[in-house]
């Protein structure tokens, strides 16, 4: 009997903006090069991406999104080669004007932005803090039984915009940002489910915008045991990993690092990695289900589907 669960709800996903136009500005202050009106019938996980470059190899281009009095992005790129930038944030239901803003760091050389996209994604098992200013919020996500086992860990993803590095605390402990890109700050780590996480970003006089997401299907940057496998011996396990905020190399490993490691080939019974859509399966014939860890990572990607062919 084949049991399948598609945790990325693609029927609810929508591409709201897809604009290949190349925009330019010589302004050293943020200048709105494009704007778009969108309407959300419910609170939504928003994914955005764009490419930026500068006319001169020695100077930088910088871009952000302006949504009301809040900002998202703030990425920078030095030189003439276009670089892909992007991220995720959560918006409440409502109507919005999304302004794409661009600046150069030298008025003699223009900044460029092209291939802007904005869309809404949807997953099962997701807790969130919608876009807000400085202060504290609490996230909790319960575990549950899936078709391949019980959920064990989720990814806590916090993305903030601030002109200086904002302080971040989680459950009262100071944390460093996992990734920074000029005015863009991301915290992305695997955490236990069935626990509460009180998040505080910024204090006066920090002018910060942030949102937070807790979801087991968004992949962390380091290997994590997202599901505690639990199904009959002899069954075949299937997983599909996909791009989300970017198209990274995604990694999947079945087994466990040994007492003394001689590399992945001797630690894991099966491995898979790749960009784009990655499909993997393994049949548990002689290897015990209860004696293996399933480890997955790939910052920027997600798990879309899992299945078990029960024997």
Query: In the prediction, which pLDDT does 134 show?
Result: 85
Domain coordinates in residue numbering, the chain: 11-121, 127-215, 227-309
In this prediction, residue 304 carries a pLDDT of 98
Instruction: Determine whether domain 127-215 maps to CATH 2.60.40.
Output: no
Query: What CATH fold (topology level) applies to the domain 11-121?
Result: Jelly Rolls (2.60.120)
Q: What is the pLDDT of residue 135?
A: 84
| pLDDT for the residue numbered 207 | 84
Instruction: Identify the pLDDT of residue 192.
Output: 97
Phi-psi region of 194 (alpha: psi -120 to 50; beta: other; left: phi over 0): left
What's this model's pTM, rounded to 2 decimal places?
Answer: 0.96
pLDDT (0 to 100) of residue 248: 98
Same fold, 11-121 and 127-215: yes
Which pLDDT does position 246 carry in this prediction? Answer: 97
Residues of the chain with pLDDT below 70 are none
pLDDT value, residue 205: 73
pLDDT value for 202: 87
> What pLDDT is stored for residue 204 in this prediction?
73
Q: What does the pLDDT read at residue 206?
A: 76
Q: Show Cβ contacts of residue 165 under 8 Å, excluding neighbours closer than 6 positions.
A: 177, 180, 185
Give the tokens for residue 219: 């992949």
């Amino acid at each position: 009997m084949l049991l399948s669960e598609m945790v990325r709800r693609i029927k609810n996903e929508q591409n709201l903006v897809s604009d290949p136009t190349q925009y330019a500005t010589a302004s050293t202050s943020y200048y709105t090069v494009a704007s778009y009106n969108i309407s959300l019938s419910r609170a939504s996980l928003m994914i955005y991406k764009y490419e930026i470059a500068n006319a001169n190899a020695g100077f930088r281009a910088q871009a952000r999104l302006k949504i009301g009095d809040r900002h998202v992005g703030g990425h920078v790129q030095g030189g003439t080669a276009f670089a892909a930038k992007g991220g995720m944030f959560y918006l409440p239901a409502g109507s919005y004007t999304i302004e794409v803003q661009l600046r150069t760091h030298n008025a003699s050389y223009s900044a460029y932005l092209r291939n802007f996209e904005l869309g809404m994604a949807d997953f099962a098992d997701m807790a969130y803090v919608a876009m807000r200013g400085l202060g504290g919020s609490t996230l909790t996500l319960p575990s549950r039984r899936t078709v391949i086992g019980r959920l064990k860990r989720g990814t806590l993803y916090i993305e903030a915009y601030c002109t200086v590095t904002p302080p971040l605390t989680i459950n009262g402990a100071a944390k460093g940002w996992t990734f920074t890109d000029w005015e863009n700050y991301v915290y992305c780590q695997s955490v236990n489910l069935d626990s509460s996480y009180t998040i505080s970003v910024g204090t006066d006089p920090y002018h910060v915008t942030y949102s937070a997401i807790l979801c087991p299907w968004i992949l962390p940057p380091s290997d994590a045991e997202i599901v505690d496998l639990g199904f009959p011996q002899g069954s075949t396990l299937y997983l599909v990993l996909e791009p989300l905020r970017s198209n990274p190399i995604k990694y999947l490993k079945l087994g466990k690092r040994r007492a003394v490691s001689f590399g992945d080939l001797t630690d894991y019974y099966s491995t898979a990695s790749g960009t784009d859509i990655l499909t993997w399966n393994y049949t548990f014939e002689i290897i015990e289900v209860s004696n293996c860890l399933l480890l997955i990572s790939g910052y920027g990607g997600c798990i879309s589907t899992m299945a078990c062919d029960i024997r």
